[in-house]
Amino acid sequence: MSPSKVKSLSTYEYPTETKERLKYAELEALDISKLNQPGGKQELAEQVLRFINKNGFFYVVGHGFSDEEVRQQYALCETFFDLPLEEKTRYLCDTAKGDFRGYKPQSTGKLATRDNDERYNIPKFTPEHERPHPQLIRDHWEEIRAFSLKVHNDVLLPLLRLFAYVLEIDEDYLIERHRYEAEGLEYLRYMKYHPRSAEADAQIGNIWAKGHTDYNTLTFLFHQPIAGLQVQTPEGEWKYVRSPRDAIIVNIADALEFLSGGYLKSTVHRVVRPPEDQADRPRLSLIYFARPEANILLKPVVSPLLQRLGLQSETEHFSHDVTAEEWARARIAKDHRFRTGLVDQREKEIIAGISQKYYD
């Protein structure tokens, strides 16, 4: 990656914040820089125990990412989606087989109401994921690699160690199931929601992405000022998620719910039409999806905390052993069938007796 190629990107500036008064969820912020301070781990663990059953969304601050680092990735994101469609479709992902590596285009025609975004997923930088990429991505390969590794090493791993401490299990238990060099699919996602007319959005209830949970371990969402992301509270109310410029939004996902015996609950969230003062702008997102290693069985850990709380057996159980890869591929393939019109009704069972829940 040469310096001249990095400088060729236009500087990315964030869209203006909405001036509308929205109902925001009150989320906690975990300052992970405290983990290396005396008493910091205990302080953060107490904070997790206070909020974890109220909201599965939380903020991470003290993460070490500069504003310039994040905006550089957004510049890449914006530039990628400006490429000609025929160039992007040379790198299609095979979602029919449960594979999200590469490009997923925006749906058109009668299927446009089901799928209004396009995505480019860059898997972790291990030999198994070697594949063609657009020249734009290759030109910035080492820069993207460094960004992805920083999320994994400096944000994911400290959080996994903290959650293991909260569960009163070996602090390396979750980390040992998320080794970067092991086979598995973590990825960085560039994403773009396309604006639609008020009339088109009204026909689908102004919902851009229906209420759902993610199927990985943790999802990291970098600053995005265009409002639209909402979380479902324990009371069933939808509230907006504010995106502070210095924070990463984190949501707990399915795999961590299974591994934690149901204590760390997968967050229900959706995306809706932005407020009117932002509704004509594309909504770019920079997201990192952390997932367990491919062959890890999604079995609940035995936790002294859960045993004391009487929660050890509350989570749903698969009818037979299911790996992290099998769970993810089943969910991706199921979503593919609905998105592409192969089925007209959302399928219920995902795999091994566990069903998809719908929230809209």
CA-CA distance, 87 to 90, in Å (whole number)?
6
pLDDT tens digits, one per residue of 146-175: 999 999 999 999 999 999 999 999 999 999
Of residues 320 and 121, the one with the higher pLDDT is 121
Q: What is the mean pLDDT of the chain?
A: 89
pLDDT at residue 313, rounded to an integer = 60
pLDDT score at 106: 87
How would residue 112 be classed by pLDDT, with cut points 50, 70 and 90?
low
Q: Is residue 295 part of a domain?
A: yes
Residue 244 lies in a domain: yes
**SS3 of the chain:** CCHHHHHCCCCCCCCCCCCCCCCECCCCEEEHHHHHCCCHHHHHHHHHHHHCCCCCEEEEECCCCCHHHHHHHHHHHHHHHCCCHHHHHHHECCHHHCCCCEEECCCCHHHHHHCCEEEEEEECCCHHHCCCCCHHHHHCHHHHHHHHHHHHHHHHHHHHHHHHHHHCCCCCCCHHHCCCCCCCCCEEEEEEECCCCHHHHHCCCCEEEEEECCCCCEEEECCCCCCCEEEECCCCCEEECCCCCCCEEEEECHHHHHHCCCCCCCCCEEEECCCCCCCCCCEEEEEEEECCCCCCECCCCCCHHHHHHCCCCCCCCCCCCCEHHHHHHHHHHHHHHHHCCCCCCCCCEEECCEECCCCC
- Full residue range of the structural domain in which residue 133 is found: 3-355
- Residue entry with tokens 């310096």: 3
Number of domains within the chain: 1
* CA pair distance 159, 164, nearest whole angstrom: 9
- For residue 161, tell me if it sits in a domain: yes
How many C-beta atoms lie closer than 10 Å to residue 359's C-beta? 13
30: domain CATH number?
Answer: 2.60.120.330
Q: Per-residue pLDDT averaged across 233-260, rounded?
A: 93
In a domain, 286, yes or no: yes
In this structure, are residues 300 and 260 in contact, taking their beta carbons and an 8 Å threshold? yes
What is the model's pLDDT at position 7? 45
pLDDT band of 335, cuts 50, 70, 90: confident
Beta bridge partners of 118: 192
Q: Is residue 102 part of a domain?
A: yes
| pLDDT score, position 185 | 87
Percent of the chain clearing pLDDT 90 (strictly above): 65
- Is the pLDDT at 317 greater than 70? The verdict is no
Structural domain includes residue 184: yes
pTM, entire model:
0.92
pLDDT tens for 185-199 read 899 999 999 999 999
Q: For 223-234, write each residue's pLDDT tens digit.
A: 999 999 999 988
360 in a structural domain: no
pLDDT at 357: 63
Question: Which pLDDT does position 348 carry in this prediction?
Answer: 65
> What does the pLDDT read at residue 140?
97
Q: Average pLDDT, stretch 131-144? A: 96
pLDDT in tens, 64-83: 999 999 999 999 999 999 99
